[in-house]
Amino acid sequence: MSVKESPAATSTFADLFGRDPAVRADAPGRVNLIGEHTDYSGGFVLPLAIPQRTRIELGPRIGPLVRAWSANVESPEILEYRLGDEKPVHGWLDYVQGITDVLRQDGYTLRGFDLRIESDVPVGGGLSSSAALEVSLLRALREAFGLEIDDVKIALAGQKAENDFVGAPVGIMDQMASSLADDKTALFLDTRSLQFERIPLPAEAEIVVIDSGVTHSHSAGEYRVRRQECERAAELLGVRQLRDLGPQDLWRLPSLPEPLDRRARHVITENARVRSAVAALRERDLPRLGKLLYASHESLRNDFEVSIPEIDDLVELASEEPDIYGARITGGGFGGSIVAVARRGTGRKAGERIAARYGESGKRKATVLVPTA
Ligand code: GLA
């Protein structure tokens, strides 16, 4: 990798590379309605896309050189590497290098390219800015080089890049959501079989997403620790993954050492809550859906211990809003955002009231991301 110059954040592809892009592609961030920290145990999730997206412009080159630029860093620079010579540099370029590395390993033929990235998915907001980058780049590469890769394979390639190259041991939810979901339909996904069903949001419901302003980092230890705890709990209980247990097995958990008993209880009850949430959506029973969201939050806070006081405050403030049915932490945790379900047409105002009360001390600032202003 080498640093070339420092073009302004507003630079166009033509400013940066002296020609127009050949291909444009984009992909959304996601918000998970329910089914948190279940995917790496083979469980169920229910994400939707959010309106915020990552946008890619790309122009193929002759030879193996990749030149890449992102508008979303403090002093944007054109970074370079050669295909076949991908090496982690511990920055955003690793997502790009990870994708080309995985594609080549999987036997796809690529050439070098020039790349411009721009995104309005907040980084560290629990809304999958990384999956949006991976999926949008894979879509652009598919088009530019005629790759035969379908949307599920795109999700798998994104996850592999993040696991093997970036070093974040994430599950498959985010990439599947970014590749396959839209913002009006929840993607009911079985993360083991990758079978999915699209569940429309009832017309009376509206999704609200509020960013706490506290950012997280997945390659940081806690996510990895939770994953290992779930794997260990499954091993001690004699099943392949916690997904293989249901509410009828909860009596077995006291045999596990603390905190594995609580971790397993979260995953088992959360998988059951996802199924109940799908039923509630089908029956348009929003009060029931709301209760499931609050129960999920309690479980993530007390049993799985991935919440933080700021997020708990946002959920508490949401619970005081008459037009909000339910709310919970969304994403990997340790910061990020909450998701809430509101009565249609009321979400933006309710979100703004919650953000205003959250910021009253002047020490912290929340942002209503969905519904967009
Ligand atoms: C992150 C990971 C996902 C999933 C969630 C928690 O977003 O990327 O795979 O594990 O955390 O549900």
pLDDT of residue 3: 45
Which residue from 130, 174, 216, 224 has its CB within 8 A of the most atoms of ligand 1, so it is best to mutate? Answer: 174
Closest CA to 115 of 87, 153, 62, 79: 79
Residues 39, 94, 114, 174: which is the catalytic one? 174
- Residues of the chain with pLDDT > 90, as a percent, come to 95
Nearest CA to ligand 1 atom 1: 332
Q: Assess whether 174 carries a catalytic annotation.
A: yes
Closest CA to 33 of 280, 264, 244, 361: 280
Distance in Å, CA 35 to ligand 1 centroid: 10
CA 36 to ligand 1: nearest atom = 12
Nearest CA to ligand 1 atom 8: 170
What are the tokens at 79? 């970074």
CATH class of 2-190: alpha beta
CA 227 to ligand 1: nearest atom = 10
CA 332 to ligand 1: nearest atom = 11
Residue matched to tokens 């479980």: 299
All structural domains of the chain with their residue ranges: 2-190, 203-370
**Structural fold of domain 203-370:** Alpha-Beta Plaits (3.30.70)
Cβ–ligand 1 distance for 174 under 6 Å, the answer yes
Q: Count Cα neighbours of 370 within 13 Å in the Cβ-side half-sphere.
A: 31
Whole-number Å distance between alpha carbons of 183 and 26: 14
SS3 368: strand
Distance in Å, CA 167 to ligand 1 centroid: 14
Q: What is the mean pLDDT of residues 297-323?
A: 98
CA 40 to ligand 1: nearest atom = 10
pLDDT in tens, 204-213: 999 999 999 9
CB atoms within 10 A of CB 15: 12
Say yes or no to pLDDT of 7 above 90: no
Distance in Å, CA 39 to ligand 1 centroid: 7
pLDDT in tens, 10-51: 899 999 999 999 999 999 999 999 999 999 999 999 999 999
